[in-house]
């Protein structure tokens, strides 16, 4: 019974991490157009399925409403879920063009497509990640 309760609580915790995926854009052309129209850079989070660091960072930082509300003031958030095995053409092209390292990676890109910076890993907590992003934004 105890094991079933622990599994149920774990599933609830993971599902709560997934709730805020709606804040993240998942279509590159739409996100790029939004970035051009608003003058905000793209904040691209590159993750991979079955990546424990990606899932940990997602739950601790990137799925949090307070992070998303703050970062959306300055950036257009874009989520790219790029598997290591058999990556899509979009993922392969993106990683090559922007020199995106292993997942998780967090990049700032102008609406024109020019890379601004890679946000240094590790992403310690919500506040430090926001500070790091803001320090890299063009003034």
Domain annotation for the chain: domains and CATH numbers: 2-136 (3.40.30.10)
User: What is the tens place of the pLDDT at every residue in 80-130?
Assistant: 988 877 778 888 888 899 988 888 899 999 988 999 999 998 888 999 999
User: What is the tens place of the pLDDT at every residue in 75-93?
Assistant: 999 999 888 777 788 888 8
**86 Cβ contact partners less than 8 Å away, ≥ 6 residues apart:** none
CA gap 34, 27 in Å, rounded:
11
């Amino acid at each position: 019974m105890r094991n079933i309760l622990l599994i149920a609580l774990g599933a609830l915790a993971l599902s709560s991490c997934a709730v805020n995926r709606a804040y993240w854009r998942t279509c590159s052309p739409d996100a790029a157009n939004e970035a051009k129209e608003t003058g905000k850079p793209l904040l691209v989070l590159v993750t991979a399925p079955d990546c424990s660091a990606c899932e940990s960072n997602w739950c601790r930082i990137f799925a949090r409403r307070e992070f998303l509300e703050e970062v959306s003031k300055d950036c257009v958030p874009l989520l790219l879920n790029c598997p290591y095995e058999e990556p899509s053409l979009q993922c392969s092209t993106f990683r090559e063009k922007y020199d995106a390292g292993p997942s998780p990676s967090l990049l700032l890109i102008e609406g024109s497509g020019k890379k601004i910076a890679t946000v240094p890993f590790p992403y310690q907590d919500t506040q430090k990640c926001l500070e790091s992003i803001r320090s890299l934004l063009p003034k």
